[in-house]
Structure 1
Amino acid sequence: MAGQQASPNPLVTGTAPDTSLNVQLHPLVLLTISDYITRRALRSQQGPVVGAIIGQQNGRNITLEHAFECKLDEQHGNVVLDGEWFQERLEQYRDVHKAPALDLVAMFTLGPVGGPQEVHLPLLRQVHELTSTEGIMLLLFHGELVDHLQGGKLPISLYKTVHEREGEQMQMKFRELSFEVETGEAEMIGVDFVAKGGGNATAVPKQETVQTAESSKKEKGKGKGKAKEKDEETNGEAVSSALSPEDEELIASLTAKANAIKMLNQRINLIRSYLETQPQSYLTDAYSNTPPPDTTNHTLLRSVNSLLSRVPLLAPPSVAHPSDGSSNTTTPSSLERAGDKERQDVHLTSLLASLTRSVSEAQSMGSKFHIVQREKQSKERGGGNFGGGGGFGGGGRPARGLGSFAEEGYFGESGGL
């Protein structure tokens, strides 16, 4: 490994890395550490980088899930933690992450590739005293390896503390641990957001910022009107150069599609170049007696044949153009015929619904007409029985004869009214 010390580190045990522990490192820890180091570099801040990592420990399974930077102090020439601040901040993180319960599992800092140094020992001893916890791990970030790593390796190393007897005293040493990166859905969203926004982030040097501030002060003294116009132009350029989230998402989508098409083209060219190396008679003539070469990959040829058989299902066949110059210039493809069939089914369903509605309305009209006709016939039968005799009743009232008046006493003894 580049940058590794020639002589072995006396603080690191010579045994192989411990694989008995199942350590899972989450990307949020890496993002926090990289953000912390990047901000210090851009601000030209000096001093050590120290932080804490909280997670879970269930038996031999340990997770490193969240990290935060620590406030430092100097005592007797050694850099140590601000004990009161550290305990208060750690308790706040414990209150926030109660389900599942998280606790301090490791500390992170910068270090060489060779492993921990003597300056790291006072820090770990102080953490042991403040938390009354043994076995706090140490994560070292190797800044000199950032520009030299390949193959997806991370510039970090993880160590756990062990005590070994040297003579009559117990010495604290370190043993390297193996780890794996574990991520969840929420972390994937956060990492994706950081990856998309990282392309738009720019670092402005401090000297350039000071010069810009001084030039703006000089311009303000020349005239408010000109300065205001220049500020408006600058703001307009900044607004026009910035992309909205929708535009960034569209660009990312188009870029992904372009990469997919490019890869598909490369795969097709690779298949074509392989088929061109095969004998023509073996590929085109099914009754050819020419034996295939010994290097023929029959599994690959079967896969190519299966792929070609599925192509008509994915894309419509080519459209045939008649050569007689007739008005029918195109022949409907299978996709167009399927679309026409679907449209016909929709129109037929709509027509059946209209026909059913018309039949229902006609049936309702026939029932109403039957009721009206029956009422009309009943009225006609009533008028013929009572109104045809004339007399006093003309309006359907029954006629009364002279005998009924005589019986009721309307005529006197003399026969008059």
Structure 2
Amino acid sequence: MEDSASPFVLDRPSNSGLQVLLHPLALLNMSDHYTRTSIQFPSENRFVLGALYGTQSGREVSIHTTFELLCVANKRIDGEYFLTKTEQMKQVFSDYDVLGWYLVSSNDLNEVDLSLHEQMQIFNENPLYLRLDPRALSVVTGTLPATIYDTETVPSDGKMVTRFATIPYTLETADAERIAVDHAAKLGVLGEHVPGEKDSALFTQITNQRGAVKMLRDRVYLLRQYVSAVKQGKLPPNAELLREIAGVLHRLPVIEQDDEWSQHYSQEQEDATLTAHLSTLTKAISNLHEASGMGRKGRAMGKRPMQGPSPHQPMRPRMQGGYRG
């Protein structure tokens, strides 16, 4: 996808000579970020922004993953949050560095894109800009709605200006990513069954929970409509039914302030994240221990069985160093 109609984009490719390799995990993270934001804020002007993380060797750049960024007033990147998140990512991916930033948007490139790009130059001298358009997906042609840009300084109307230039990229898939993508493709869209495929236990559980939440929402909406109609005098009040509705409401916890709910939600989110990290760490330690045990077992099987010395033959001393000149 190229946004050549925008005056902020050059009508030619970049002269940087970079070879960019884009991994599916980065696209999955961006898509997940956009989906969650769309569900949480369906009617607001969503701003889905994040950083690109990966490796660079010479002119070859590999975008492996991403992490989300926060914006403060006037579309300014939260620098403190960015540095904190970078330090956390560095603890997990010690070989990765910040390569640039991404934005999920269907609008034409404008001054906001240039402003954000200039802000990212504080953390990376020559950042890449990966832009994902959620409305430009073409199932027929199979082209990805993603474009990668860098910036060039060119003359315009007697002065030098900064403009975006597209960079071609190649999809690079590791074995682990290929397995994950194939699994996600087989499951299809959440809530839709793919004939001939066995649903995983997690998929079945999530589907059941989704159906239960949808049913609960529909029932609550129906009760709300009834109470509203009684309040407006459109329906006669039913004392028994109203008491049952009041009983349902009294079962819900009362939260007086939004800050209390946000704090409780953040605590639960941190606990869940910590549990997931501990589970991953435990599994990694178990795999490492198992691999170490297999190595020792293999070395033991490769040795000949030890035989005791003959009573007529003295024991020969072992040579040190393993090499004789």
TM-score, scaled relative to structure 2: 0.57
Q: Please give the alpha-carbon distance, in whole angstroms, between the structure 1 residues aligned to 2:181 and 2:89.
A: 22
Of residues 112, 123, 142, the one that matches 2:116 is 123
Counterpart for residue 399 of structure 1: none
Q: Residues 216 and 183 from structure 1, CA distance in 2 versus in 1: closer, same or farther, beyond 3 angstroms?
A: farther
Does 2:32 correspond to 1:71? no
* 1:212 aligned partner, one-letter code: R
Counterpart for residue 104 of structure 1: 98
Q: Residues 49 and 199 from structure 1, CA distance in 2 versus in 1: closer, same or farther, beyond 3 angstroms?
A: closer
State the Cα distance separating 1:198 from its structure 2 match. 3.3
Write out aligned runs for 1:7-406 (5 A).
8-18=5-15, 20-45=17-42, 46=44, 47-74=46-73, 78-98=74-94, 101-112=95-106, 116-129=109-122, 131=123, 133-146=124-137, 148-166=138-156, 169-201=159-191, 210-213=217-220, 221=244
| Number of aligned residue pairs | 211
CA contact (8 A) 1:4 1:113 kept: no
CA contact (8 A) 1:22 1:60 kept: yes
State the Cα distance separating 1:150 from its structure 2 match. 2.3
Counterpart for residue 283 of structure 1: none
State the Cα distance separating 1:170 from its structure 2 match. 3.7
Q: Residues 112 and 126 from structure 1, CA distance in 2 versus in 1: closer, same or farther, beyond 3 angstroms?
A: same
State the Cα distance separating 1:160 from its structure 2 match. 0.7
Q: Please give the alpha-carbon distance, in whole angstroms, between the structure 1 residues aligned to 2:172 and 2:60.
A: 12
Greater CA radius of gyration, 1 or 2? 1
- Three-state SS of the structure 2 residue aligned to 1:151 is coil
- Three-state SS of the structure 2 residue aligned to 1:119 is helix
CA contact (8 A) 2:101 2:127 kept: yes
CA contact (8 A) 1:149 1:155 kept: no
Q: Residues 14 and 151 from structure 1, CA distance in 2 versus in 1: closer, same or farther, beyond 3 angstroms?
A: closer
CA contact (8 A) 2:100 2:120 kept: no
Q: Residues 181 and 205 from structure 1, CA distance in 2 versus in 1: closer, same or farther, beyond 3 angstroms?
A: farther
Q: Residues 206 and 36 from structure 1, CA distance in 2 versus in 1: closer, same or farther, beyond 3 angstroms?
A: farther
- Three-state SS of the structure 1 residue aligned to 2:13 is coil
CA contact (8 A) 1:18 1:178 kept: no
- Three-state SS of the structure 2 residue aligned to 1:140 is strand
Q: Please give the alpha-carbon distance, in whole angstroms, between the structure 1 residues aligned to 2:121 and 2:82.
A: 12
The runs of 5 or more residues in structure 2 that have no matched partner are 192-206, 225-240, 248-325
TM-score, scaled relative to structure 1: 0.45
- Larger RCO (CA within 8 A; separation ≥ 6): 2
Q: Residues 154 and 209 from structure 1, CA distance in 2 versus in 1: closer, same or farther, beyond 3 angstroms?
A: farther
* 2:162 aligned partner, one-letter code: M
Q: Please give the alpha-carbon distance, in whole angstroms, between the structure 1 residues aligned to 2:190 and 2:159.
A: 55
* 2:72 aligned partner, one-letter code: D
* 2:114 aligned partner, one-letter code: L
State the Cα distance separating 1:31 from its structure 2 match. 0.6
Q: Residues 156 and 206 from structure 1, CA distance in 2 versus in 1: closer, same or farther, beyond 3 angstroms?
A: farther
State the Cα distance separating 1:42 from its structure 2 match. 2.5
The runs of 5 or more residues in structure 1 that have no matched partner are 225-417
Q: Please give the alpha-carbon distance, in whole angstroms, between the structure 2 residues aligned to 1:149 and 1:192.
A: 17
Q: Please give the alpha-carbon distance, in whole angstroms, between the structure 2 residues aligned to 1:219 and 1:66.
A: 52
Instruction: Kindly provide the CA deviation profile for residues 80-128 of structure 1, in whole angstroms up to 9, marking residues without a partner as x.
Output: 2111011110121122111xx11111211134475x2211122111121
Q: Please give the alpha-carbon distance, in whole angstroms, between the structure 2 residues aligned to 1:125 and 1:162.
A: 12
Q: Please give the alpha-carbon distance, in whole angstroms, between the structure 1 residues aligned to 2:216 and 2:75.
A: 32
Q: Please give the alpha-carbon distance, in whole angstroms, between the structure 1 residues aligned to 2:135 and 2:85.
A: 31
Q: Please give the alpha-carbon distance, in whole angstroms, between the structure 2 residues aligned to 1:185 and 1:219.
A: 58
Q: Residues 190 and 216 from structure 1, CA distance in 2 versus in 1: closer, same or farther, beyond 3 angstroms?
A: farther
* 1:107 aligned partner, one-letter code: W
Comparing 176-185 and 203-212, the one that deviates more = 203-212
Q: Residues 113 and 19 from structure 1, CA distance in 2 versus in 1: closer, same or farther, beyond 3 angstroms?
A: farther
Q: Please give the alpha-carbon distance, in whole angstroms, between the structure 1 residues aligned to 2:219 and 2:15.
A: 54
Q: Please give the alpha-carbon distance, in whole angstroms, between the structure 1 residues aligned to 2:141 and 2:242.
A: 51
CA contact (8 A) 2:148 2:166 kept: yes
Greater share of residues in helix: 1
Identity of aligned pairs, percent? 27
Q: Residues 164 and 205 from structure 1, CA distance in 2 versus in 1: closer, same or farther, beyond 3 angstroms?
A: farther
Q: Please give the alpha-carbon distance, in whole angstroms, between the structure 1 residues aligned to 2:125 and 2:14.
A: 19
State the Cα distance separating 1:166 from its structure 2 match. 4.0
